[in-house]
């Protein structure tokens, strides 16, 4: 089960949170009035997993949580909003994440999605592994989860020009691919042109993580819209300015 972590906020207040899923604290007008609602923090939470995970295992663990969380307590529409906000925040689109939270009337007392409340006073806790990658993520050989992720299509399909926004440089580039190319294959093309290792790339579109096995034609990417490419910089784990260590 999840352990605890300490988050150091900008006003030097230390808040303890756990990775439990949801509970219902005392509610009512007085409880709601006393609760703070801070803007979503724009810092990436840094943590270490007790048991090292591969990217595939982490994705499976996340999917399992989001698929089962609404069955325990809380409202499904709030869980859906939290999932969308989490994905947007991990893609560094904090403005979108904040808009999703505000639209769903979700308050965030400590500035992190680890602890949230809806307008009825129900508490929702998102586990740390759903918010960021652990600093000890295990990279599989060549960054692949399976050979099928990078398989060449038999027919390339129509040429498509993708507009990519690279998080490491915050610059936009255009990448020519084919409609039947998988995301994994497109990552290889980006590596060839921009020297960004495929194992360090995560692609997001419309707040959704694009899996490596998915063909471009199934991603429904609207012409001219931006695909966010998050470049994993977790190896810079010696930067202690905003370091947070936790157990999953």
- Domain boundaries of the chain, sorted by first residue: 4-130, 143-231
Q: Residue 86 above 80 pLDDT?
A: yes
Please state, in angstroms and rounded to a whole number, the distance separating the CA atoms of residues 174 and 209.
19
Helix (H) or strand (E) holding 192: helix 183-194
Strands in 208-209's sheet, in edge-to-edge order, are 171-178, 159-166, 226-231, 201-205, 208-209
pLDDT at position 202 is 92
Report the candidate in 165, 190, 163, 167 with the shortest Cα–Cα distance to residue 92.
167
Q: What is the mean pLDDT of residues 162-178?
A: 89
Q: Mean of the pLDDT values across residues 71-85?
A: 90
For residue 234, what pLDDT is reported? 55
H or E stretch at 60: helix 55-68
Statement: residue 158 has pLDDT above 90: no
pLDDT reported for residue 241: 37
Look up residue 192 and give its two tokens: 């060839």
Of the ranges 61-75, 81-95, 231-245, which one carries the lowest mean pLDDT score? 231-245
Q: What pLDDT band is residue 149 in, cutting at 50, 70 and 90?
A: very low
Residue 33 pLDDT level (bands cut at 50, 70, 90) = very low
Contact by Cβ (8 Å): 122, 113: no
Task: Name the fold adopted by 143-231.
Answer: Ubiquitin-like (UB roll) (3.10.20)
Q: How far is residue 40's CA from residue 84's CA, in Å, rounded to a whole number?
A: 14
Query: What is residue 92's predicted lDDT score, i.e. its pLDDT?
Result: 84
Choosing among 3.30.70.1450, 3.30.310.10, 1.20.225.20, 3.40.30.20, the CATH entry for 4-130 is 1.20.225.20
Q: What is the pLDDT of residue 155?
A: 55
Q: Flag whether pLDDT at 207 surpasses 70.
A: yes
For 157, the token pair is 């399909």
Q: Cβ atoms within 10 A of the Cβ of 134, count?
A: 22
Distance CA 138, CA 27 (A): 42
The predicted pLDDT at position 5 comes to: 44
* pTM metric for this prediction: 0.48
Q: Stretch 137-159: mean pLDDT, rounded?
A: 54
52 Cβ neighbours under 8 A, 6+ residues apart: 134, 136, 137, 138
C-alpha span between 13 and 29 (Å, rounded): 25
Distance CA 24, CA 201 (A): 38
Residue with tokens 């990217």: 55
Mean predicted confidence (pLDDT) in 57-83: 88
* Mean of pLDDT values over 50-71: 86
pLDDT interval class at 140 (50, 70, 90): low
Q: Which pLDDT value is given to residue 14?
A: 33
Per-residue pLDDT, 145: 43
């Amino acid at each position: 089960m999840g352990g605890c972590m300490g988050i150091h906020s900008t006003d030097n207040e230390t808040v303890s949170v756990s990775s439990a899923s949801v509970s219902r604290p005392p509610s009512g007008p007085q409880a709601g009035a006393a609760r703070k609602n801070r803007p979503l923090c724009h810092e990436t939470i840094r943590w270490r997993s007790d048991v090292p995970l591969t990217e595939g295992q982490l994705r499976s663990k996340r999917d399992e949580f989001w698929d089962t969380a609404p069955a325990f307590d809380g409202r499904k529409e709030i869980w859906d909003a939290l999932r969308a906000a989490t994905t947007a925040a991990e893609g560094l689109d904090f403005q979108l994440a904040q808009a999703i939270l505000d639209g769903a009337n979700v308050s965030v007392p400590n500035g992190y999605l680890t602890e949230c409340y809806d307008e009825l006073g129900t508490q929702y806790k998102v586990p740390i592994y759903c918010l960021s990658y652990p600093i000890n993520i295990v990279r599989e050989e060549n960054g692949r989860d399976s050979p099928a992720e990078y398989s060449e299509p038999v027919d390339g399909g129509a040429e498509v020009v993708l507009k990519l926004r690279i998080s490491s440089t915050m610059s936009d580039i255009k990448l020519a691919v084919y409609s039947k190319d998988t995301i994994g294959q497109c990552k290889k093309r980006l590596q060839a042109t921009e020297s960004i290792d495929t194992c360090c790339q995560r692609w997001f579109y419309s707040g959704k993580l694009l899996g490596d096995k998915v063909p471009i034609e199934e991603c429904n990417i609207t012409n001219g819209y931006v695909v966010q490419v998050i470049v994993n910089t977790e190896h810079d784990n010696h930067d202690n300015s905003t370091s947070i260590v936790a157990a999953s």
